[in-house]
Amino acid sequence: MSISILGAGAFGTSLAISLALGGRDVTLWARDNSAIETMRDTRENAARLPGAKLPDNIKLTSDIGDLTDNIVLLAVPMQRLRDVLSKAPALHGKTLVACCKGIELTTGEGPVEVIRSVAPIATPAILTGPSFAADIAKGLPTALTLACDDETALKDLQAELMAPNLRIYRTSDATGAELGGALKNVMAIACGAVMGAGLGESARASLITRGFAEMNRMALALGSKPDTLSGLSGFGDLILTCTSPQSRNYSFGFALGNGADFDRNITVEGAATARATLQKAQTLKIEMPITQMVVALLDQKLSVREAMNELLARPPKEE
């Protein structure tokens, strides 16, 4: 079977390479035709994934009408997902697999919810978990979670997305999977800020642990299964994103912590997600103090040390 990928950023390109090397024919779409022409000529996405060669069985296109496969991976930023889908009605009857992580700022919806909202006749799913595009493109071993409420479609989709270096685990808990992928980015900003400010590894370990508790509180309140966030889509992704400078969210937080400039052209999903999460938490009356501190940092209402002091000064409680 062939597979289409909408979005030729680093992650979309890396998935295209992995699936193509696994024997799939892949159509990779980007809206910038000049970028597509360059990629055709060089067989490389030098702007997003330098050094990674594109196999011959990857077709490159800027015409969304070329995405004719039944399975389409949506590798676009979370805050653009609704707009992209709204402009591509031909995709609405297909199996649409979100490969982005976050919560939409305007609606509070996750990727699967956005797909359901814009394309109600589609079969929505999400592919998420601890993964860096550069690792996948190099053929390094990576395990991901595939979530879809339709269990029959889920098993077929799992088989189609497996590749030599990609091990795919499945779950029917799409809510939990999308929340794990979204909320870990908020915690990664917090951990980056702590390390950037020189507050130490012990502080980071505490934030990871208590951040995981926050993630679970929201996931359970929204109907997730209790064990979903203990897997790759939650705990696994949290550990990777909170400990590696390859993470854009961690690096953004690190820059916040040490007062350095950060490239505004780099997408940091956790910033919008933090604000959307805090709004949702307030509506649900859920305590999420780390998320609240991240928003305060983003709004420049507190310094990192002031935010940490507020967290440390919270009333004693049972773990």
What pTM was estimated for this model as a whole? 0.95
Residue 108 Rama label (left phi>0; alpha psi -120 to 50; beta): left
pLDDT band at 82 (very low <50, low <70, confident <90, very high): very high
Give the pLDDT of residue 178: 97
Q: Which residues, at least 6 apart from 301, have a Cβ–Cβ distance to it below 8 Å? A: none
- State how beta strands 2-6 and 71-74 pair: parallel
Burial of 35 (0-12, 13-18, 19+ CB in 10 A): middle
Question: Looking at residues 264-277, what average pLDDT do you find?
Answer: 92
Residue with tokens 């890396």: 14
Question: How far apart (Å, rounded) are the C-alpha atoms in residues 110 and 91?
Answer: 19
Q: So what's the pLDDT on residue 267?
A: 86
pLDDT tens digits along 120-168:
999 999 999 999 999 999 999 999 999 999 999 999 999 999 999 999 9
Residue 319 has pLDDT above 90, yes or no: no
CA dist 280 to 65, 161, 222, 294, Å?
36, 32, 10, 15
Phi-psi region of 211 (alpha: psi -120 to 50; beta: other; left: phi over 0): alpha
pLDDT at 264: 84
| Catalytic annotation, pick one of 94, 184, 280, 301 | 184
pLDDT tens digit sequence for 283-303? 999 999 999 999 999 999 999
Rounded Cα–Cα distance for residues 206 and 72 (Å): 39
What is the set of domains in the chain, with CATH numbers? 2-172 (3.40.50.720), 184-312 (1.10.1040.10)
Burial class (CB in 10 A: 0-12, 13-18, 19+), 202: exposed
* Tens digits of residue pLDDT in 177-235: 999 999 999 999 999 999 999 999 999 999 999 999 999 999 999 999 999 999 999 99
Residue 265 and residue 94 in contact, taking contact as beta carbons nearer than 8 Å: no
What gap in Å lies between CA 100 and CA 269, rounded to an integer? 9
The helix/strand/coil state of 140 is: coil
Known catalytic residue at 184: yes
